[in-house]
Amino acid sequence: MADLYYQLEKDIRYIEGLKACFNCGICTAICPAAEVSDYDPRMVISVVQQKDEEELEKLLKSDTIWRCGECLSCKTRCPRGNVPGYIIQALRALSIDTGMFTSSVQGRKQLALKRTVGDHILKYGYCVYIDEVDNDMYPEQGPVWDWLRENRESMLARLGTSYKMNKSGTLRNTSQESLDDLKKIFDETGGTKRLNKIEKDSLTKAKELNIDFDEGKDDYFNHLYNE
């Protein structure tokens, strides 16, 4: 793993995000994630700046890099033009590409994200789609959403949407041609490779943890999504 920094330094988000941090801690003061979890962006930058391969490897295998909410409030506030949120984006990519994401509980949850918003993109052309959002998985949606879903043919027509229709408008079907374009872009630019890597390394980890792994909302998915 002697080349972790070599790989990290090729990511333009790392180049753009790390100027010269003097550890003032403003990023941590403004950070919504730091308020609610054991997360300190100032310390992340401090570790990355040390250029210590072992420390970087520990970071890539930790829960820490998955705590950020990517609101990017840190970009506005840093007096030296650093962007901890960008560095987190680069670290997350490297953690997946090296397979280290399965070493942490939070990192492993990338599979649950891949099987929801990731797969929705290539299935529907959107990250989110009403047919996939039920109140069991998203109870905070409340009774109004439950009622809307139950009556969606009628209500979405009343509200003038193009739900399930092959024309422009809200919630329209994405044409096969557009979905094919997305798939070809994913194949061409590393998106498919990234998503496949998450599946492949998650299978190995699920076996290690002795949790059933198949596809969709299997035992491993539910373990990651709910617990």
Partner 1 sequence: MKPGKNEIWAAYQKEIADDHYYFARSCIRQNFFPAAENLYLDILRNVLGKDIFDDARQTTCTGIAYHSGLIPLETTMTVIARQFALMNEAGYENFVVSCVTSFGLYVETIETWKHFPETEQETREALKRATGMTFTIPKNLVHASDVIYKYRGEISEKINLRLINKSTGEPLKIVDHIGCHYAKIFPQEGIGGAEYPYVLAGLIDEWGGQQVDYPERRHCCGFGFRQYLLKSNRSYSVTNSKKKFDSMMPYKPDLIIANCPGCTFFLDRWQYVIAEMEGKTYRENGYGIPVLTYEELAGLLLGYDPWDIGLQIHQVAVEPLLDKLGIEYDPDKKYNGLNGEDIGKPEQPLFIRSV
Restricted to residues 118-147, the positions that interact with partner 1 (CB under 8 A) are 118, 121, 125-130, 133, 137-138, 140-147
Does position 63 interact with partner 1 (CB under 8 A)? The reply is no
Q: Which stretch binds partner 1 (CB under 8 A): 21-29, 45-53, 193-201, 205-213?
A: 193-201
Query: Amino acid identity of 49?
Result: Q
d(CA 113, CA 129) in angstroms, rounded, equals 14
For the segment 43-62, give every residue that binds partner 1 (CB under 8 A): none
Q: How far is the CB of 218 from partner 1 (least distance, A)?
A: 16
Nearer to partner 1, 79 or 167 (CB): 167
Name the token pair of 179.
């979905």
DSSP 33-82: HHHHSS--HHHHHHHHHTT-HHHHHHHHTSSGGG------HHHHH-TT--
Q: Which stretch binds partner 1 (CB under 8 A): 17-25, 50-58, 151-159, 200-208?
A: 151-159
Does position 216 interact with partner 1 (CB under 8 A)? The reply is no
Q: How far is the CB of 164 from partner 1 (least distance, A)?
A: 13
Name the token pair of 42.
């100032």
Binding residues for partner 1, total number by CB under 8 A = 89
Q: How far is the CB of 166 from partner 1 (least distance, A)?
A: 8
Query: For the stretch 32-42, what's the b/e string if a residue is b when 16 or more beta carbons lie within 10 angstroms of its beta carbon?
Result: ebbeebebbbb
Applying CB under 8 A, which of residues 46, 185, 200, 217 lies at the interface with partner 1?
185
Does position 209 interact with partner 1 (CB under 8 A)? The reply is no
For the segment 12-41, give every residue that binds partner 1 (CB under 8 A): 12-13, 16, 32-33, 35-37
Q: How far is the CB of 122 from partner 1 (least distance, A)?
A: 10
